[in-house]
């Protein structure tokens, strides 16, 4: 079954500059290929060229004092199994990544592809919002970092015609921070219908700082800023978790489709919000 | 365009269409043990090992893996000399129609290479992407555990 019948050629550039030059010359008819999952599952008949990114040296997970630096062609498996991720935020980011899709697909999904495609069902995007990640983008000469919120305020389609996502930087957080992600899927390989990620700084039982993101197909993930304001400065207790469940159900903005109604997703989002906070209470104890 | 793979230890060169997926290239060239079904990475029937890692070949661009080592189910054992996983799947009744079996065994093979003593949970998580409509999965989990025991005893 030849789904990509218009593709005539493949290139494997050796530098980011070379890749971007090819992309610019293609007149919108080339596709950058990291893992290639998206392009084979959702084939675009306009595409006539593939530009494979596997020789750009972008498969790495490194750390310095402030950041974990992940190259764009690193797969979810690479990231989840990287030594530096094992204890990052008490291992909860690794656990969240290791539950995305199946092992077969995690071996193929790259972080750069997930960021650049910005699919509404991605579990990676809400995680990056909550983690306040910085997306590294190159135009072939310079590498520029965008906070994830700012990155998705760009006209992504135009940006991706002349630039490549080269990686992502995750802040290192001290032990006062906790992370959790919950997702609703019908089976292992299904795409998420709802997901929620929370990063919270808890000092002496009080939520000092928090970032929350929610994604629900077919809407894009977003920062749940009302929820952040509700929690910031509050003492983390089981009562607060219960109150936050009700608040989330009433205030979260979720999409609907034939698979799940808006009301059901709001209900689920409330439960996830409560469960993540209860997990944090367990972590503090 | 031409691509070159090492398939089950033998060098092979194929003429491919630039937009083809690996599954189609393999089946066109006689590797019928690689099953095609969903073409969306959902069912796992088309699983092969590429440089030792399991992938759905229906979502893998054939050109992207030029130069790779590919292992199909026939690369891990033969009818005369089956791999312990193949023996265990038969012994535990984990094979009925057999359509999903090559993919499931290859994923289990990759699991046991890295984790020779997996828990039920490890096995369930690893086999998440391989759908089976016959066995109900329980026998598959038992088969993987049996194969792990056989491998420990050196039954290779």
Q: Please report whether residue A28 resides in a domain.
A: yes
pLDDT at residue A284, as a whole number: 57
Q: Please name the residues in contact with B135: beta carbons below 8 A apart, sequence gap of 6 or more.
A: B93, B94, B95, B96
pLDDT at residue A285, as a whole number: 46
pLDDT greater than 80 at residue B156: no
Considering the domain B2-72, what is its CATH architecture?
Answer: Roll (3.10)
- Please indicate if any CB of chain B lies within 8 Å of the CB of A40: yes
Q: Which two tokens stand for residue A173?
A: 């957080």
Q: Please report whether residue A2 resides in a domain.
A: no
- Edge-to-edge strand list for the sheet holding B69-71: B10-15, B2-7, B69-71, B47-50, B53-56
- Edge-to-edge strand list for the sheet holding A30-33: A9-11, A49-52, A30-33
pLDDT at residue A13, as a whole number: 97
Chain A stretch 94-153, residues whose beta carbon is closer than 8 A to a beta carbon of chain B: 98, 101-105, 107-108
Distance CA B111, CA B124 (A): 11
Q: Please name the residues in contact with A161: beta carbons below 8 A apart, sequence gap of 6 or more.
A: A23, A24, A28
> The pTM is what?
0.94
- As averages over each run of 10 residues, the pLDDT of chain A (285 residues) reads 90 96 93 95 94 96 96 97 96 93 94 88 91 95 92 84 94 97 83 93 97 90 96 97 98 90 95 97 70
Domain co-membership, A194 together with A273: yes
CATH number at residue A164: 3.30.465.10
What domain range is A42 assigned to?
A: 9-52
Cβ contact, residue pair B55, A102, below 8 Å: no
Considering the domain B84-152, what is its CATH architecture?
Answer: Orthogonal Bundle (1.10)
Distance CA A66, CA A202 (A): 20
Domain co-membership, A151 together with A198: no
Shortest CA distance from A45: residue in chain B: B19
pLDDT at residue A121, as a whole number: 73
Cβ contact, residue pair A2, B24, below 8 Å: yes
Q: Please report whether residue A1 resides in a domain.
A: no
Residue B98: cis peptide before it, omega within 30 degrees of 0: no
Do β-strands A219-223 and B2-7 pair in parallel, antiparallel, or remain unpaired? Answer: unpaired
A145 phi, psi to nearest 5 deg: -105, 135
Shortest CA distance from A104: residue in chain B: B55
pLDDT greater than 90 at residue B105: yes
Domain co-membership, A156 together with A235: no
Q: Please name the residues in contact with B30: beta carbons below 8 A apart, sequence gap of 6 or more.
A: none
Domain co-membership, A67 together with A167: yes
Domain co-membership, A192 together with A167: no
CATH number at residue A231: 3.30.390.50
Cβ contact, residue pair A50, B63, below 8 Å: yes
Q: Please report whether residue A114 resides in a domain.
A: yes
Spell out a b/e string for B78-105, using b for 16 or more CB atoms within 10 Å of the CB, else e: eeeeebbbbbbbebbebbeeebbbbbbb
Domain co-membership, A119 together with A142: yes
pLDDT at residue B155, as a whole number: 62
Asked whether this complex has an ipTM greater than 0.90, the answer is: yes
Average pLDDT, integer, range B34-59: 96
Strand partners, A61: A70
- Please indicate if any CB of chain B lies within 8 Å of the CB of A32: no
The domain locations on chain B are: 2-72, 84-152
Domain co-membership, A70 together with A155: yes
Strand partners, B15: B2
Per CB-CB distance under 8 Å, the chain A contacts of B126 are 103
Per CB-CB distance under 8 Å, the chain A contacts of B20 are 2, 4
Do β-strands A177-184 and A206-216 pair in parallel, antiparallel, or remain unpaired? Answer: unpaired
Q: Please name the residues in contact with A262: beta carbons below 8 A apart, sequence gap of 6 or more.
A: A254, A255, A256
Total domains, chain A: 3
Please, are residues B109 and B151 in contact by the beta-carbon 8 Å criterion? Answer: no
Domain co-membership, A185 together with A163: no
Q: Please report whether residue A4 resides in a domain.
A: no
Cβ contact, residue pair B129, A8, below 8 Å: no
CA distance B55 to chain A (A): 5
**Mean pLDDT, all residues of chain B:** 96
Tell me how far CA of residue B37 lies from CA of A100, B24, B34, B42, in angstroms: 22, 11, 10, 9
Domain co-membership, A205 together with A275: yes
């Amino acid at each position: 079954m030849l789904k990509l019948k218009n593709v005539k050629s493949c290139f494997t550039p050796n530098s980011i500059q070379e890749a971007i030059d090819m992309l610019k010359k293609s007149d919108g008819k080339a596709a950058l290929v990291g893992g290639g999952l998206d392009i084979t599952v959702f084939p675009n008949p306009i595409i006539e060229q593939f530009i494979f990114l596997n020789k750009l040296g972008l498969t790495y997970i490194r750390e310095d004092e402030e950041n974990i630096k992940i190259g764009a062609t690193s797969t979810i498996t690479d990231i989840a199994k990287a030594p530096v991720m094992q204890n990052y935020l008490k291992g909860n980011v690794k656990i969240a990544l290791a539950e995305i899709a199946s092992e077969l697909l995690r071996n193929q999904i790259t972080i750069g592809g997930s960021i650049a495609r910005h699919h509404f069902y991605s579990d990676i995007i809400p995680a990056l919002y909550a983690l306040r990640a910085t997306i590294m983008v190159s135009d072939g000469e310079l590498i520029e970092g965008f906070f994830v919120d700012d990155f998705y305020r760009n006209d992504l389609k135009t940006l991706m015609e002349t630039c490549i996502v080269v990686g992502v930087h995750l802040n290192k957080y001290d032990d006062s921070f906790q992370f959790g992600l919950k997702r609703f899927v019908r089976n292992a390989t299904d795409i998420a219908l709802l997901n929620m990620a929370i990063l919270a700084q808890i000092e002496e039982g009080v939520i000092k700082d928090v970032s929350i993101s929610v994604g629900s197909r077919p809407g894009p993930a977003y920062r749940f800023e009302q929820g952040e304001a509700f929690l910031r400065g509050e003492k983390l207790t089981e009562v607060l978790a219960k109150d936050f469940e009700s608040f989330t159900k009433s205030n979260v903005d979720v999409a609907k489709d034939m698979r799940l109604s808006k009301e059901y997703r709001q209900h689920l989002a409330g439960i996830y919000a409560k469960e993540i906070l209860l997990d944090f209470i367990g972590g503090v104890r | 365009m031409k691509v070159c793979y090492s398939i089950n230890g033998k060098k092979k060169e194929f003429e491919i269409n630039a937009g083809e997926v690996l599954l189609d290239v393999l089946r066109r060239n006689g590797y019928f043990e690689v099953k095609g079904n969903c073409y969306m990475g959902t069912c796992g029937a088309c699983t092969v090992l590429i440089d030792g890692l399991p992938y759905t070949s229906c979502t893998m661009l054939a050109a992207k893996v030029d130069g790779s080592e590919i292992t199909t189910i026939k690369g891990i054992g033969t009818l005369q000399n089956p791999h312990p996983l193949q023996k265990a799947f038969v012994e535990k009744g984990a094979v009925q129609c057999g359509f999903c079996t090559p993919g499931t065994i290859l994923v289990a093979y990759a699991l046991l290479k890295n984790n020779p003593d997996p828990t039920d949970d490890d096995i369930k998580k690893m086999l998440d992407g391989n759908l089976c409509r016959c066995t109900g999965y329980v026998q598959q989990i038992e088969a993987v555990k049996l194969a792990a025991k056989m491998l420990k005893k050196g039954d290779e």
